[in-house]
Every structure is written in C-alpha cells, then in structure tokens.
Amino acid sequence: MLTCFAPDLTPTQPTYQLSEEESKHAVRVLRLGAGAPVLLVDGRGTLAQATIAEANPKRCVVQLQNRQLVPRRPFYLHVALGPTKNLDRLEWLVEKAVEVGIERLSFVRCARSERRELKLERLEKIAVSALKQSGQAWLPQLDELVDYDKLLPTLDPATTFIAHLDAGERLPLAQIIGAAPRACVLIGPEGDFSPAEIAVALGLGVRPVTLGSSRLRTETAALAAVFTAQVVVEQKTSPSC
C-alpha cells in the first residue's frame, strides 16, 4: 500500500488533499484511481488509512477512515555530529538513521569541520522518504548547523556522551547507554574533535565512549550509535524469556 506524507493532518477531518508531489506520484506514476487504498502518515505519530476519492494528479483527495496514534518508543536518541564534506554520505546517514530509529539529529560546526554551511531542505526530504519507506510514524527533528560551543551548553551532561579518538579511558557506548530514558551522542567531523573541544566536553561532565575497536567514518560512527540505541530499545520492549 502506498504511504503518503500528510504533515498537516488533523484529528477529525473527513478528507485530505495530498500535496502536488504526493498526488503526482500516486496518480500519474503509480496510476492509482478512485477507491485505491493509501496510508497517510503525519510524522507526529498518526497513521491513517484512506481511499482515493478524487484521483487528480495535482490535487488528489482521499477519504479518511481509521486513524491510529503510534506512541513514541521508550528511548529518546539525539545524535549531534560534524557533517561530512561529501553530501552523499550525509544523505545516506539521514536515510538509514530514520529507517532504524532516531528522535533528533543535530549538525555541529567544529574546529576541524570541512563543511561550514549546510542546507536542510534536501535532508528533510530524504528523512520524509525514509519515514514512509520504513513504516515509521515519528519524523525526527533535524537541526540547523550550529557552532559546537553553542550546542554544548544546551545539553545535559548526565546523558551526553562524546565519541572521540584521543587516547584515554573510554567505556563502550553499549555498556552505558540506556541507564536513562534518553541520550545524546556527540560524533566529531572527519578530522575528529580537537583536544580543546574534547576537554570542554569532559569538563562539563560529558562522558567519553568508544563505538568499537575500528576507526569509523563520521557517518558510520553516527549510524553505529543509532544501532546501539536500537538494541537498547529492543531489549526494553521485548518480553522477558
């Protein structure tokens, strides 16, 4: 069944007009006609079953039927990373992170960042596409690129972890994530965090972690954190043996 993004869906409206982009895909590309079933998702937890009432390729109208509110998962993951210079790799990360499950993704301008500017429009579209493809109900928050020293004071040190490559004692993220119902994982840019940036984070009480013995690319490290959190979610929600 086709899933369509309906960001302004309200709880009681009987019909909904799809965006021109969604209308074109449903009617012109997939050739769906009146009576065809579709699924609407608003990115805020609502899934709604519907059928096409007016198969117009520019303004397709659907008749709403059953609605379901999907609760948020019991763990809130926030990943903040220095965006990669190669946009393809960053787009890949956004797609896969949404598919696996993440609540917030922030982009941080660090001392060694090669990418100093970032436009979110393309990444937001990729996030929506991944949301529909994976059957997720909650669209994660994507934040504008911000300086590291401005983001850090807004985070709770007790639930924030920094993954860096400098020498020193670091616990595996898998061992300590999940002690609280939320976590923020800081991932450095391709040149890693600078010693000064690491020192500032540690001075605030942020704990250093490792994501494994391999030296990971920025986007791979971020996705490893997402998978680690997903394991925590599965362990919390799976029935005890």
Print burial letters for 9-28: b (CB count within 10 Å at least 16), e (below 16).
beeeeeebbbbeebbbbbbe
Residue 60: Cβ-neighbour burial (10 angstroms; 0-12, 13-18, 19+): buried
Q: What is the mean pLDDT of residues 200-215?
A: 91
Domain span holding position 114: 76-237
Domain boundary among 69, 103, 128: 69
Of the candidates 43, 69, 95, which is a domain's last residue?
69
Structure confidence at residue 109 (pLDDT): 96
To the nearest whole number, what is the mean pLDDT of the chain? 93
Judged against a pLDDT cut of 80, whether residue 94 lies above it is answered with yes
Q: Check whether residue 152 and residue 81 sit in a common domain.
A: yes
pLDDT, tens digit, for every residue of 65-92?
Answer: 999 999 999 899 999 999 999 999 999 9
CA atoms within 13 Å, Cβ hemisphere of 56 = 12
pLDDT 10s digits, 158-182: 999 999 877 778 889 988 888 889 9
Residue 241 confidence (pLDDT): 44
| 145 & 213 share domain | yes
Same domain, 143 and 54: no
Query: Does 86 lie in the same domain as 48?
Result: no
| 81: β partners | 107, 187
Alpha carbons 166 and 185: distance in angstroms, whole number: 16
- Shared domain for 43 and 129, answered yes or no, is no
Q: Clarify whether residues 92 and 198 are in a common domain.
A: yes
Question: How far apart, in whole angstroms, are the C-alpha atoms of residue 189 and residue 194?
Answer: 10
pLDDT at 240 over 60: no
Which of 37, 69, 101 is the last residue before a domain boundary? 69
Number of structural domains (the chain) is 2
The pLDDT assigned to 72 comes to 93
- For the whole model, what pTM was predicted? 0.92
pLDDT above 90 (res 200): yes
Helix (H, G, I), strand (E, B) or coil at 162: strand
